[in-house]
Structure 1
């Protein structure tokens, strides 16, 4: 993970520094460029990183070797001016030169460009927009660019300052643990500045406060996780409420602490079933794979909308499923009906990068894919997302997955329709399914007939034209 490895490499002696930086794989936060790169092309990774979570561009490395920058003073000067000349608005970039040994064994230098997350959408002087996705600076088309513009319409909330809070008010032990995890050697303040966790006037940001304050709920009381366990598959209401009286807890503290304590609580409360393990013994295993619900929990805490006051992350545990709901809708770049196609987007870029430093979330855009993989490996149905006016809910069910061969034989979209029926937890008419899915009636009818033909759902009615006929799970 380059976000830590870059700092460790920069702390090495100059004889080792260049070669170590050349070996680190490029990823979400690291790009390497030859000193011969044209300034207009150098603008591409700067814009891409600024539109994501920020990162580092190392100039003077090419083809796995260390070419250095010492013999190219004019080119270096042109690159230093790139943010002003070739990005709109100018990308905030801090440059520094570090000494190294080039491939010929001579003392040389590298140019380190540290890019801060942008407060607005950035583009090149040519009007092109890029977004960092994994190890690629991906050029966005018109629609994706417009959606990113709307989502970035104002400065990310996690970059706003917390009035009256300084570095001295944060938890020194937590900061020291972060410095060790990040492989940094500078002061706590310099590290926080490098990660954009301090403003230009050295005020602690919302992200820094949530990550390293002893009790951030003093200023942000909504920044907690509530874990609940129910005795029945339905929540119920009033006298029929199925919430376990002894299983409703509010978990507070810094983000790393909240995730740790919430995970321990879920581990304890999630229902278990007996299953044969790899050693041939029957053991109690959770009804939903731990890696799946943990990924969902981490995503909810890191990517929730902290600007939404009065709401919090909820983890609800039922006998047959785990539901995780977080404040804030999906960004416009994402379609919850096609979760595997969701493009990478960090609502809280500073929190996301710091958590990656702490190895809480890898933040490689693979979290959703990993949840799908874990559920499928256990033979369970795919994770399902639903979106309300102000939140996103992830549902992880313990129901058996449809055989791949059967799934391939179904019309496109049939499994999504099946997820809607599962979420409803009651029989639905064809018209209701048309309304819920947003699809045409012929399309929904074709999917329903295919699911019925496979014995997955059942039609119940008195005649083919019965207006009260419904569909239910088999």
Structure 2
């Protein structure tokens, strides 16, 4: 990709080719009138289906003149591009959007937007169909070419998803304190060698270094900027119904995965009831076993399918239960019934990194020192501790073979209220 403004300007002067598309932006009032959303979606998908490339907004493709984008409208254009990548392309396209200040045709300075589009691991469909790029134009893929591309991209995804490169991110996006915590006296002294050995960065097919999915999830402050919906949506409802009118508290929990786990546990602890009985001595009975909640959130974060776009972990707390939705089917040959007996990890690298993260939270009765133990004790703890407290065994349910729902039942009030 064009990694400097000077290189980009030189390429613009040469005009469009297989890896460069130029588009002028036109406005009608506050709204973008050109190019059409579907047209830009087709260009983006065609490039992702072909080779790594760049789309520049704010440049006339015929004259190569930099027309620019008004500075006060640059954020509107950025949001518009993100919506197109998420809503007009299937599966949604991950791309990097950069705002640049460049010399204008009149001699001053203006703004443009550079969209870096990596060669995708998926085959993308846009409003125009399945397209690919040849030279400076796009074409419909023939059935046999489409079949070959699906086969090639499927083979590329044999690499574990959590070890794959995230081309729309750069090494600078990894926060030093977050990856330094994994260092030990035996770790390589060279930073890049250490990050590569830990698989927080990797090389793509062109030998460029990029953060991996695990690197983004464990060593950035806001993983959802690069991996759609890599956060936890937490909501508390007053009664037993999922109704926005009855919301008591809500929070989108971001941060590195271990931080998301901590914040989600604190969210439940802050919002759940604790019943007190004063005879003969005061006894506090929490609504939920915090140790079970901790294990459930760890499992959801560690084992969810991060390759599923448009799905997030959802943590919903009601007066009578807690529901935790985790995107993805159960890995390998496991079933809902075999969860307490078997162990299988979808994200081996993520699990190993979480096993190196100190608890740094109230252990909620857990004796371990690190967030994960990898011994397969999580589900048994969830089931036994929750059932002991509430008298009801938690329920795992697979929804449409695409999302795992865990329901933990609340302890009944000793006072008979709800």
Q: Secondary structure at the match of 1:378?
A: helix
Aligned partner (choices 249, 264, 272) of residue 266 of structure 2: 264
Is contact 1:323–1:393 with CA below 8 Å preserved after alignment?
yes
From the superposition, tell whether residues 285 and 160 of structure 1 become closer, same or farther in structure 2 (CA, over 3 Å). Answer: same
| 1:218 is the counterpart of 2:225 | yes
| CA apart distance, 1:391 | 0.3
| CA apart distance, 1:153 | 7.9
| CA apart distance, 1:377 | 4.1
**Alpha-carbon separation, structure 1, partners of 2:320 and 2:405:** 16
From the superposition, tell whether residues 329 and 185 of structure 1 become closer, same or farther in structure 2 (CA, over 3 Å). Answer: same
**Alpha-carbon separation, structure 2, partners of 1:387 and 1:333:** 14
Aligned partner (choices 206, 222, 229) of residue 213 of structure 2: 206
| 1:172 is the counterpart of 2:183 | no
Corresponding residue for residue 67 of structure 2: none
| CA apart distance, 1:173 | 1.2
| CA apart distance, 1:337 | 3.0
Aligned 1:127-206 pairs, distance under 5 A: 154-179=158-183, 184=187, 186-200=189-203, 201=207, 202-206=209-213
Is contact 1:227–1:249 with CA below 8 Å preserved after alignment?
yes
| CA apart distance, 1:158 | 1.0
> Normalising by the residue count of structure 1, what TM-score does the alignment of the two structures yield?
0.47
Aligned 1:32-111 pairs, distance under 5 A: none
| CA apart distance, 1:230 | 1.0
Aligned 1:354-433 pairs, distance under 5 A: 354-358=353-357, 359-378=370-389, 380-389=391-400, 390-398=402-410
| CA apart distance, 1:178 | 2.6
| CA apart distance, 1:399 | 5.6
| CA apart distance, 1:274 | 2.2
From the superposition, tell whether residues 174 and 225 of structure 1 become closer, same or farther in structure 2 (CA, over 3 Å). Answer: same
**Alpha-carbon separation, structure 2, partners of 1:378 and 1:188:** 47
**Alpha-carbon separation, structure 1, partners of 2:389 and 2:245:** 28
Greater Cα offset, 317-326 or 371-380: 371-380
Q: Secondary structure at the match of 1:372?
A: helix
Question: What RMSD in Å do the two structures reach over aligned CA positions?
Answer: 2.7
Corresponding residue for residue 38 of structure 2: none
| CA apart distance, 1:189 | 3.1
Bigger fraction of residues in helix:
1
**Alpha-carbon separation, structure 2, partners of 1:344 and 1:218:** 31
**Alpha-carbon separation, structure 2, partners of 1:159 and 1:306:** 12
Q: Secondary structure at the match of 2:183?
A: helix
From the superposition, tell whether residues 167 and 360 of structure 1 become closer, same or farther in structure 2 (CA, over 3 Å). Answer: farther
| CA apart distance, 1:362 | 1.4
| 1:254 is the counterpart of 2:285 | no
**Alpha-carbon separation, structure 2, partners of 1:318 and 1:209:** 32
Unaligned runs of 5+ in 2: 1-153, 358-369, 413-418
| 1:229 is the counterpart of 2:241 | no
From the superposition, tell whether residues 174 and 332 of structure 1 become closer, same or farther in structure 2 (CA, over 3 Å). Answer: closer
**Alpha-carbon separation, structure 1, partners of 2:183 and 2:391:** 40
Corresponding residue for residue 307 of structure 1: 307
Q: Secondary structure at the match of 2:323?
A: strand
Greater Cα offset, 209-218 or 267-276: 267-276
Q: Secondary structure at the match of 1:339?
A: coil
| CA apart distance, 1:219 | 1.3
| CA apart distance, 1:166 | 4.2
Is contact 2:235–2:316 with CA below 8 Å preserved after alignment?
yes
Q: Secondary structure at the match of 2:202?
A: coil
Q: Deviations over 1:113-147 (max 9, x none)?
A: xxxxxxxxxxxxxxxxxxxxxxxxxxxxxxxxxxx
Is contact 1:175–1:188 with CA below 8 Å preserved after alignment?
no
Q: Deviations over 1:424-461 (max 9, x none)?
A: xxxxxxxxxxxxxxxxxxxxxxxxxxxxxxxxxxxxxx
Corresponding residue for residue 345 of structure 2: 346
| CA apart distance, 1:330 | 0.8
**Alpha-carbon separation, structure 1, partners of 2:278 and 2:197:** 49
- After the TM superposition, which parts of structure 1 deviate over 6 Å for at least 4 consecutive aligned residues? none
**Alpha-carbon separation, structure 1, partners of 2:390 and 2:254:** 34
| CA apart distance, 1:276 | 7.0
Corresponding residue for residue 246 of structure 2: 243
| CA apart distance, 1:161 | 0.2
**Alpha-carbon separation, structure 1, partners of 2:278 and 2:158:** 52
Unaligned runs of 5+ in 1: 1-149, 401-474
From the superposition, tell whether residues 194 and 399 of structure 1 become closer, same or farther in structure 2 (CA, over 3 Å). Answer: same
Q: Deviations over 1:378-419 (max 9, x none)?
A: 36322210111120000111368xxxxxxxxxxxxxxxxxxx
From the superposition, tell whether residues 385 and 195 of structure 1 become closer, same or farther in structure 2 (CA, over 3 Å). Answer: same
